[in-house]
Amino acid sequence: MKTTQAGDVVLVTGATSGLGKACAEHLAACGYRVYGTGRRPSAPETAGVTLLAMDVSDDGSVKDAVRTVLDREGRIDAVLCNAGYGIAGPVEETPMSEAKAQFETNFFGTLRTIQAVLPDMRRSGRGCILVVGSMAGLAAVPFQAMYSATKFALEGLVEALRLETRAFGIRCAVVEPGDHRTGFTEARRKTAVPGSPYAEAMGRSLGVMEAEERNGADPQEMARLVERLLRKRRLRVRYMVGPGFQKLAMMLKRILPSRTFEWIIALYDKV
């Protein structure tokens, strides 16, 4: 398998803020030719990165942005599918429109991006596809069920994609961040129904989550991990990054009886 090296072309979706911005800037500083995308490409300056407009929930927008990079560079060596956002609300009360919109960006947006870059990677017999999942895609978070579901879905997508594309020299993995300090917390959309029987528990639980996010890890940590992964010949299926106690919790999920793990999570999340 060929690795991705300085000088190669990398596409980073959701590069206008947070984790994507940190990764794009770090890769550019390491000598990669980086194209970053977002719906607000003129937003904050992203050092060394060429920003393009791209809404991952729109077929034409994704195709246009990928075509622009291929026309300019002749190739895309790696992609970091990072664009995403979170919604919060009880399962029972989440409007179907919000649930579908969550999947449209986080899951189908990632799928669209992968489908757009794959033909070039497959023909040239090399490429690296890194998908930003979440620890919430390993252990579901109460009152963020739709968000968790999109991230669980990405795990399945990547597991299958690896098997389908390895014959073409394409390396794929999921990067699973725990809580990081980004624009994610402010961007979260909350569905609130007046007088909801879930309101109190949701308020407590979300309070814990948001405090963890605001005190979360520095996005630079993930940026350094992504750069290391690009240079690796063989990738594992998944890589966690973030606070140590959250990584430990994910390991416990694998070994503890499911009801014991659930009891710990319920205690921690105050539900």
Ligand X SMILES: NC(=O)c1ccc[n+]([C@@H]2O[C@H](COP(=O)([O-])OP(=O)(O)OC[C@H]3O[C@@H](n4cnc5c(N)ncnc54)[C@H](OP(=O)(O)O)[C@@H]3O)[C@@H](O)[C@H]2O)c1
Residues that bind ligand X (CB under 6 A): 13-20, 38-40, 43, 54-57, 82-85, 105, 109, 132, 134, 177, 179-180, 182-184, 187, 213, 216
The single residue listed with the structure tokens 């710990």 is 264
> Measured from the CB atom, is 169 or 183 closer to ligand X?
183
The one-letter amino acid code at 14 reads G
| Angstrom distance (rounded) from CA 89 to CA 12 | 29
Q: Give the shortest CB-110-to-ligand X separation in angstroms.
A: 8
35 is catalytic: no
Nearest-angstrom CA–CA distance, 105 and 58: 9
Q: Which is nearer to ligand X, 95 or 125 (CB)?
A: 95
Nearer to ligand X by Cβ, of 59 and 200: the residue is 59
Euclidean distance between CA atoms 92 and 90, whole angstroms: 5
CB of 187 to ligand X, least distance (A): 4
CB of 120 to ligand X, least distance (A): 20
How many residues are there in the chain? Answer: 271
Residue that has been written with the tokens 């594309």 in this structure: 165
Catalytically annotated residue among 147, 198, 239, 268: 147
Residue with tokens 């390993």: 138
* 169: β partners: none
Minimum separation from the CB atom of position 70 to ligand X (A): 19
**CA 263/CA 253 separation, integer angstroms:** 11
Task: Report the residue closest to ligand X, judged by CB.
Answer: 18
| Residues labelled catalytic | 147
